[in-house]
Structure formats: structure tokens, C-alpha cells
Amino acid sequence: MRHADDPALFLLLPEEFANNFAVINRSMIEVKNISKSFGEKVVLDGVSAIMEPGKTNLIIGSSGSGKTVFMKCMVGLLRPDDGEILYEGKNILAMDPQDLKDVRTQIGMLFQGSALFDSMTVENNVRFPLDMFTKNSKKEKLHRVDEVLSRVNLEGSNKKFPSEISGGMKKRVALARALVLNPKYLFCDEPNSGLDPQTSLVIDKLIKELTIEFKMTTVINTHDMNTVMESGDHIVYMHKGKKKWEGSSKEIIFNDDKDLNDFIFASEFLHKAKEMSRMEAEGKM
């Protein structure tokens, strides 16, 4: 198979596709050997991983395994004790403040628990990053707010307050806010926490569609097995602060890692479903 950087590949591709391919290929995040401790407690212990460009990358693992700390290190909210975090080959831990600010404006983040400002309307919550990072006119900002609210199917909710909307709507407002600066990289920490399974699927589908539509590199922290099976282009499994396994949602069903299996197929029902999938794949059913 040709390597993505092979210039000959571009000669073989139609121009439009080659351009898209070049954009996607550049937006890779590479984490090299990062460690993070709080006092005596080692939370990340030499984690290396690649967040594949243009894909939905999932970080999975049980509660306390270090997913949120890992994500906060990747977006520059926490500084690891060791290691490198490369955006398009450049280490954000060694960048000057202006370059770091440039990278940050390309990052959208949906925090665990949505983190909306309760005293602000939906419109002002979504507008907040535009006020912080752009000099656009009020009219331009409101136009952009309407655009992203409509993309998450929340048109007309501008004047509502967070306390007046459901959990699923809050997640969509948080997603609209994460998208408002048109990011290249989208990070979502537990986008389904507190939602029913059907609403969770709607959010998953939306994130997956947006990833493709805006050619983003998306990283999602999740416990949700539906997300793992439906959205995991590339999955990283964290266990006790280390990366224990990585692969695709197809490969995860047949993995041989005991901790990963105990985590994913925790219930008797899922354990049986796994056995049936294996037998089907081996042609025994």
C-alpha cells in the first residue's frame, strides 16, 4: 500500500480528491510517550498514540483510567510531565504562545457534562468563542450562531436558557459551541453521559456526520458500547494510565486482551453476543 505522503499518489488522483486528501492528511495528532502524575499518583504512564486524520478516534476505558486527563493534555489544558504532543508534526509543548494560540483556535471541545454557562442564553453560549477569538461584527457572529445551531437541529432555540432545555439539547448546544470557530480538531469528552440510548445514537450520528462533512479529526472519550461498535474508526483502550490496545470496531470483537474483554463484554448478554458474532464470522452459524 502507498504511504499517504507519497507524492505519486496525488498524480494518480482527481484534483478535488487530492486536495481533500492533503487537508485531511495534514491534520494528524501524534502523542509520543506522555506521562502525567498528580503528586504520588501516576495517571498517565508513557502513552503513545496517533489520532487518525479525518476519522472518529475513540478513547475508551473504565472510570479513572485517565481518559479525561489524556484529552486535556492533548488540547493543552494540562501539561504532561514528559513526552510530546505533535499537531501536524509540531510539538505544542515546545511552541511559543502565539503558535499555541493558533493551534488552540483550530480545536473545538465538548467538555464532560457540557459545561454551558447557566446564566447565558443558548445564543450567547454558542457566540462566546466568537467574542473571545474573532473581531467579526455582531451581525456576522449571529449569522454564524444561527448556522451552527441549525446544523445541530436547534434552530429557534437562541433565547432559551440551559435550565429550560433537555440533556440531549444541552449536548447539541455544547457541540454547536465547539463547532462555531470551524475547527480542524474536535474533542468530545463523554458526549453521551446522562443520555438515553436513543438520544445517544442521535448525538453519535451527528458527530460522525460532522466529522466527515467538515473533514475534522475527531477524538471522543466514551464508555458507551454503542458508540464503540457504531462510530469507532480507530479505538484506543486505556487501562490504569497505559494504552493497552488499539484497533478498529471490527477488530475489537475478536481481541485477545483480557482486560479489554472484561471491560467491553462486562454483561452476560454482551458476552453471549460476542460468542455468536465469533461463530458467525467463523461460518459455524
Ligand X SMILES: Nc1ncnc2c1ncn2[C@@H]1O[C@H](COP(=O)(O)OP(=O)(O)OP(=O)(O)O)[C@@H](O)[C@H]1O
**Which CB sits closer to ligand X, 36 or 170?**
36
Name which position in 57, 65, 68, 227 contacts Mg ion (CB under 5 A). Answer: 68
Residue 64 makes contact with ligand X by CB under 6 A:
yes
**Nearer Cβ to ligand X (61/191):** 61
Query: Which of 130, 31, 152 has the alpha carbon at shortest distance from 80?
Result: 31
Part in contact with Mg ion (CB under 5 A); list of ranges 59-67, 93-101, 232-240, 251-259: 59-67
* CB contact at 8 A, 158 and 145: yes
Q: How far is the CB of 110 from Mg ion (least distance, A)?
A: 12
Pick from 43, 145, 186, 260: which binds ligand X (CB under 6 A)? 43
What is the grid cell recorded at 185? 480538531
Tell the smallest beta-carbon distance from residue 75 to ligand X (Å): 13
Residue with smaller CB distance to Mg ion, 149 or 174: 174
Q: In whole angstroms, what is the distance from residue 101 CA to residue 121 CA?
A: 27
Binding residues among 93-132 for ligand X as defined by CB under 6 A: 112
Looking at beta carbons only, is 71 or 107 nearer to Mg ion? Answer: 71
User: Given the complex with Mg ion, which of 141 and 170 has the nearer CB atom?
Assistant: 170
67 binds ligand X (CB under 6 A): yes
Interface residues with Mg ion (CB under 5 A) are 67-68
Interface residues with ligand X (CB under 6 A) are 38, 41, 43, 61, 63-69, 112
